Each structure stands twice: as structure tokens, then as C-alpha cells.
Chains A and B, each alone.
Chain A
Amino acid sequence: MSFNIEQLRREFPLLGQEVNGKPLVYFDNAATTQKPKAVVERLMEYYYKENSNIHRGAHYLSQQATEAYENARETTRLYLNAAFSHEIIFSRGTTEAINLVASSFSKKFVNPGDEILISAMEHHSNIVPWQMACQERGAILKVIPMNERGELLMEEYEKLLSNNTRIVAVTHVSNALGTINPIEEIIALAHQKGIPVLIDGAQAVPHMKVDVQALDCDFYCFSGHKLYGPMGVGVLYGKEEWLQQMPPYQGGGEMIKEVRFSGTTYNELPFKFEAGTPNVGDVLGLEAALRFVSYLRHDEISAYENQLMQYGMEQLQTLENIRFIGTAEKKTSVISFIFNDIHPYDTGIILDKLGIAVRTGHHCAQPTMDFFEVPGTVRVSFAVYNTRQEIDILVEGLKKVRTLFG
């Protein structure tokens, strides 16, 4: 490990606090990660020194802000290894990115009787936009099933790919189960039939290197705030050929070329999809987060997080009566479980009293919970700043939970 964990934790001032009189143990990273000083300082710098509305401004500050914003687009392009920077669209987050594609792509390419294919382990934000698109276009939503380990059934997927399938939308990593899906294979199989693929990368980008050209995905979405960046900013990567053909998602300033009451012509990529004043400050904060992660190096992050995950599984398995939900062979950074048949909410409340932040409930993936026939789970999710000692504290906490509810 090339980074010093104590030094790294000092970059995240929030982690140093106490909750309910106990040192905070933050295991809710799949919901949102904490922010390093580099990100917070970048936001401050922008608002203290650089704030200005971008594009079309003749004055100095506007020029500076425009340049910084477009540089951030280039940094993001490099981060994802996209072919062109105009394939990078800034959004409010993964949810808005998926909604953009579901809406614009479907308007152009989805017709009555067509099919849209998602998977059984999607987050609500990769289900509902497609349901809405299907409703609007008279299309049919099909679902790739999974097995009891939480792995997609690839033979079933192949069978579901039909001549009527217009797009496949699948998560890279499941937020509730931690499963890493074989998206390379999913993309290749769809492409054999000329079907484009959207990948929900919200849970993947914080934990692994993503190269959109190597993956050959048609769309890839992620949120800044799960990647140590600010809330309210995300990225849609889309292949130029698709983005060119899709109609704009929202109308307003920035996305137009010419507006007359008789009609409007739209701006070129990427501006066509960025109506209104963009979230410049948070885009710059996101850029700082991408730099931070690149500085730590993805292979180092993955290696460290995998060790944590392995240690976490080993330690949790020493407890009796723990049922893991999601036991896929390939997993990352999420351990979801039910302990001693205790309601996840009860477990979460007691852990909170001990200063341990976990997420309980259905994790915005109700169909996944229904599949496993549980009301919800306790979800522990790791980030690069978590430690083995924190896992030990969690295990001790769970023993207290058992004493109370035993």
C-alpha cells in the first residue's frame, strides 16, 4: 500500500468527529462518500475568486470560469478515456443522466411494441425512468433475472436480447448487493445485435478504473458525490453517434444556437444537453475529486478496498446467525446482511448509538429486496479511508445488538 491511511484520513476532516459520544465509524459510503480537503477547498476557491456565469461573457471572470469549466470536461474525458470531450455531459447526478437518456433516446428510437431491457438488481433510478419511457412510447420493459447469489443469468440475458430490443440498461455494480456485473460481455452480446448499452456506474467508479472505449459502452453514468466529490453533479458519457441523433432533453439557455419565435435551432454537443446555467462550482469540485482519486491511483484503491472487504467478510462470518444478501463471486465494497433475524432498522438504530453509520432499508432497490424476500438489509459499504479497526468496532457493535435483542 503506497498511501498512509492515517495521513489519508486527515484529508477528510469530517471523519475525526464523535457521534453519540463515540468516534464516528462511517460505513455508508455507497450512499455518499466524505469529501477530502482538496474538494472543499476547490469549491471555496471558486466562490471566493472565480465565480461567474460561463460562456458568452466578454469579461475576464466569465472567460476564466468558462475555461476552468471546459478544462474540467477535458479532465473527465481523460478520466473515463472517452474519445472526445463533447461526449461528456455534466448532469445533476446519475439519476438525471439516466433520465436524460431514457427520455431523449426513447423519443427518437423507441416505438410501440419495442423492448427495453434492464436487470433484476437495478436501483430505482435505473428502473423508473425506463418505465416512464415505456409508458410514453408504448414499449415493454423486460428484466434480466438473477440467481440467489445475486448474479445475472447470462443465458437468460442472451435469450431476452431480441430484434425488438432498443436499448439495454444495466448497473456496473449493484448498490444493494455489491455484485460486479460482467458488463464487457453484456455490451458485446448486445452489440452483436446492434443494440446500444447504458451502464449505471454510480457504484463502480469509486472502486475501479473505468475506460469507456475499452468497454465500448454507448452510455456511462456516474455521480460526483459517491466519488469524494460534491453533491449535485454527475456525468453522462455518451458516444457521439448517439448523442448527435438524440433530441435535446430540456430547453433553455446554453443549449440553443438561434431562437426565433418561428423556431429554434439547437447548439452542438455537449451544450445541446446542458440547458441553463450549469453547476460550475460543483463541476470544478468534481474535477478536484477526480484528481484526488487519480493521485491515490485506482489500482492501489482497489487493492486496499478488496483487503478491507475480505477482512470484513471474515470477521462478520465469525458471528452466528448472519445471513449475507448478495454473495456473488465478483463483488466490491458492499456487504449487505441480516443479523440474527433482527429487523435491519433495529440493528441500524443501535449501531448508530455506538457511532457506527450503516444504511438500513431497501436501498432504493425494492425489486431486489422482494427477490430475496427480505424487508431490507443492513448495508456496510467501504471507502478508501476505512480501516480494519473500524470493522472490529462494527463486529463488537453487532454483538451488543445481539445482547439487546437476543
Chain B
Amino acid sequence: MNIKEKEQEIISEFEMFDDWMDKYNYIIETGKSVPVIDSQYKQDQFLIKGCQSQVWLQASMEDGRVVFKADSDALITRGIVGLLIRVLSNQPPQDIVDADLAFIDAIGLKEHLSPTRSNGLVNMIKQMKLYALAFKAKQQGT
């Protein structure tokens, strides 16, 4: 599945929820299944600091696709991190750079991506795209 298809899949899943409690329950559960970053990467180098919650992000290149692993100290943040990884991980670098991630708005979680939330998510997306750009440059270089 490409990024757009994965986004659509998540949008359909969220359409089933009647109320916000179900939605947040799902996000929290998603948080529990995030491909957790190895503890060796839980260092400042991989830390994206937010005022309210923190995110660790690590990226690697496997068969021409970028693989992300991440973690957060807050579960809701981690759940949203999980959704972002589900969409962006295992995708070609150029697709990651181009992704507009419209699904976040469609599932009503846009408020969590406001820079004023200061939960590290805005910077995480930026960082994911930067990793993708770097891997792309490396690919072209070789």
C-alpha cells in the first residue's frame, strides 16, 4: 500500500467511532503497538523535545524504503506517532517528502499537530521528512 492508501485505510477505521472516547481509546491502543525504538537509541541525539511530551525517532534505509521507529513518554502522543509511522514507514523517500498527511485533519486530530501544543509531533513530522530527504540524497549519490 502506498501512503495515500494507508491514509484512506485509517480514515475508514476512524469513521466507525461514534464518540471521542472510542477514538482516543483506539489512539491509546495504537500507541501500545508502535515499533518501539531500541533503548540504545533513546538518547538526546534522537530526542525531539516538546514542552509537554517528548518523542524519540530513529530511521534506517531498507531495500530503498525508509523504516521508522519511535517512542514517546505520553501515550496519546505515542498513539499519533504510531499512526504516522503506519503511514510513512516502509515507503520510498520521495513519497515521504511529498506526503501532505491530510488524514490527520480528516480524522479530527489536527489540534494535536498545532505548534502551540508543544508535544513534539510537528517537529517529528519535519524530522521524518528530513530523514527521507537525507536518504534520497544518499541514494542519488551512489
Q: Is the CB of B74 within 8 A of A343?
A: yes
Cβ < 8 Å to A, chain B residues 74-100: 74-77
Residues from chain B with a CB closer than 8 A to the CB of A361 are: 51-52
A400 to B74 CA separation, bound complex (whole angstroms): 17
Q: Within the complex, which residue of B24, B51, B53, B119 is in contact with A350, where a contact is CB–CB below 8 Å? A: B24
Asked if A404 lies at the interface with its beta carbon under 8 angstroms from chain B, I say yes
| Minimum C-beta distance from B70 to chain A (A) | 16
Residue of A nearest to B120 (CB): A345
| Minimum C-beta distance from B109 to chain A (A) | 11
Asked if A112 lies at the interface with its beta carbon under 8 angstroms from chain B, I say no
Q: Is the CB of A343 within 8 A of B20?
A: no
Asked if B16 lies at the interface with its beta carbon under 8 angstroms from chain A, I say no
Q: Is the CB of B51 within 8 A of A346?
A: no
Asked if A376 lies at the interface with its beta carbon under 8 angstroms from chain B, I say yes
Q: Helix, strand, loop or mixed for chain A's interface?
A: helix
Cβ < 8 Å to A, chain B residues 9-67: 20-21, 24-25, 28, 51-54
A51 to B63 CA separation, bound complex (whole angstroms): 69
A353 to B76 CA separation, bound complex (whole angstroms): 13
A48 to B21 CA separation, bound complex (whole angstroms): 47
Residue of A nearest to B31 (CB): A346
Residues from chain A with a CB closer than 8 A to the CB of B73 are: 343, 375
Q: Given A404-B24, A404-B25, A404-B28, decide whether A349 and B51 contact each other with a Cβ distance below 8 A.
A: no
| Minimum C-beta distance from B55 to chain A (A) | 12
Q: Is the CB of A346 within 8 A of B76?
A: yes
Q: Which of A345, A350, A361 has the most CB of B within 10 A?
A: A345
Q: Is the CB of B52 within 8 A of A360?
A: yes
| Minimum C-beta distance from B71 to chain A (A) | 12
A20 to B24 CA separation, bound complex (whole angstroms): 14
A348 to B111 CA separation, bound complex (whole angstroms): 14
Q: Within the complex, which residue of A344, A353, A360 is in contact with B20, where a contact is CB–CB below 8 Å? A: A353
Q: Is the CB of B119 within 8 A of A345?
A: yes
Residue of B nearest to A362 (CB): B51
Asked if A405 lies at the interface with its beta carbon under 8 angstroms from chain B, I say yes
Q: Is the CB of A405 within 8 A of B52?
A: no
Residues from chain A with a CB closer than 8 A to the CB of B74 are: 343, 345-346
Residues from chain B with a CB closer than 8 A to the CB of A345 are: 52-53, 74, 76-77, 119
A344 to B21 CA separation, bound complex (whole angstroms): 18
Q: Is the CB of B20 within 8 A of A405?
A: no
Q: Is the CB of B20 within 8 A of A346?
A: no
Contact digits for A146-169, partner B, Cβ 8 Å, 1 yes 0 no:
000000000000000000000000
A141 to B51 CA separation, bound complex (whole angstroms): 26
Q: Is the CB of A353 within 8 A of B52?
A: no
Q: Given A350-B24, A353-B20, decide whether A405 and B75 contact each other with a Cβ distance below 8 A.
A: yes
Residues from chain B with a CB closer than 8 A to the CB of A346 are: 74-76
A360 to B51 CA separation, bound complex (whole angstroms): 10
Residues from chain A with a CB closer than 8 A to the CB of B76 are: 345-346, 349
Residues from chain B with a CB closer than 8 A to the CB of A342 are: 75
Residues from chain B with a CB closer than 8 A to the CB of A375 are: 54, 73
Residues from chain B with a CB closer than 8 A to the CB of A343 are: 53, 73-75
Residue of A nearest to B73 (CB): A343
A362 to B24 CA separation, bound complex (whole angstroms): 24
Residues from chain B with a CB closer than 8 A to the CB of A362 are: 51
Residues from chain A with a CB closer than 8 A to the CB of B75 are: 342-343, 346, 405
Q: Which of A343, A353, A376, A405 has the most CB of B within 10 A?
A: A343
| Minimum C-beta distance from B118 to chain A (A) | 8
Q: Given A343-B74, A343-B75, A346-B76, decide whether A376 and B24 contact each other with a Cβ distance below 8 A.
A: no
A346 to B25 CA separation, bound complex (whole angstroms): 12
Task: List 10 tightest A-B contacts by C-beta distance, closest first.
Answer: A343-B74, A345-B74, A345-B52, A345-B53, A346-B76, A346-B74, A346-B75, A361-B52, A349-B76, A353-B20
* Further contacts, 4 of them, CB under 8 A, given A348-B52, A404-B24, A404-B28: A20-B20, A345-B53, A345-B76, A361-B51
11 contacts across the A-B interface (CB closer than 8 A): A343-B53, A345-B53, A345-B77, A345-B119, A353-B24, A361-B51, A375-B73, A404-B24, A404-B25, A404-B28, A405-B75
